[in-house]
Structure 1
Amino acid sequence: MGASAGPGEDGDTGRDTGRDTGRDTGRVTAGDERERLLARYRELVLDVLPRRGCAEGWAVQVDHCVGRVVLDNTLGGAWRTVLPAGRGAAYARLAPEELARAVELAERMDAEGADLVAELDARSLAWRGKPAKRPPR
């Protein structure tokens, strides 16, 4: 008998028994997925989209304005009137399906660019009773 057991000799069937064996089962938990979505939201809304907005002259160029556009259009109205009040960042209070939709929308904004951003910004401003911005000349 050798110093270490060979494959299959230690009783490991390769099936998840629910016990913590210290082995990575490769499963993604709901918490892991939420953290991934939160990180992607922050990356897009706080960095990628504002940077592109500034470089390309989009209707929104500042992170909090990008966040307003994403949240309003995800929730179907001014986010402050739709999302329950609470502590912390508004995006962190989104339900799991809302967070997934917000990330999808931000990714779509990144893919489609200025025209989509202007359309979504105008819709967000209308929900807030404000006029749409005039296009740059």
Structure 2
Amino acid sequence: MAADHLVQRWFALTREELPALAGARGWPVHLDHCFQRILLDHATGGPWRDTIASPAYRNASDEQLQQAIALGEQAIAGEQDMDRLNDKSLAWRGKRKGRTKRPGLS
């Protein structure tokens, strides 16, 4: 079970900070649960439900939640591409094969 301060940071990041930036950044997602899926999938190396029991915020290890938070913070800093992170998450889930070309992206 993740520490309370990590859970608080997780919810601030995924419910407030990332959704607030989504429109201006042109990100493919804007809902909190989508950011949670993307970040947790990358923290676990595949669909998070294969590794963490639901609800993830209660059952993730500190390390898993720290990795997910760090990735979200890197996206805010412009060090990670949310489009690519989303595409990889969806590919792991069999919902999209590879990257979909979007205007302005190479």
The partner residue of 2:18 within 31, 42, 49 is 49
Q: Deviations over 1:24-57 (max 9, x none)?
A: xxxxxxxxx9222111111011111011012332
Q: TM-score, normalised by structure 2?
A: 0.83
Partner of 1:135: 102
Letter in 2 for 1:99: L
- The equivalent of 2:33 in structure 1 is 64
CA contact (8 A) 2:40 2:65 kept: no
Give the superposition deviation at 1:64: 0.8
Tell me how large the CA RMSD over aligned residues is: 2.2
Give the superposition deviation at 1:136.
4.5
Measured in 1, the distance between the counterparts of 2:72 and 2:58 equals 15
- Mark the runs of 5 or more structure 1 residues left unpaired by the alignment: 1-32
Matches within 5 A, 1:1-137: 34-83=3-52, 85-86=53-54, 89-112=55-78, 116-131=81-96, 132-136=99-103
Q: Normalized per residue, which structure has more helix?
A: 2
Q: Structure 1 residues 93 and 44, CA, compared in 2 at 3 Å: closer, same or farther? A: same
**In the alignment, residue 84 of structure 2 is paired with which amino acid?**
E
Contact 1:41/1:106 (CA < 8 Å) preserved in 2? no
The structure that has the greater radius of gyration is 1
Deviation at 1:134, TM superposition (A): 4.3
SS in 2 for 1:135: coil
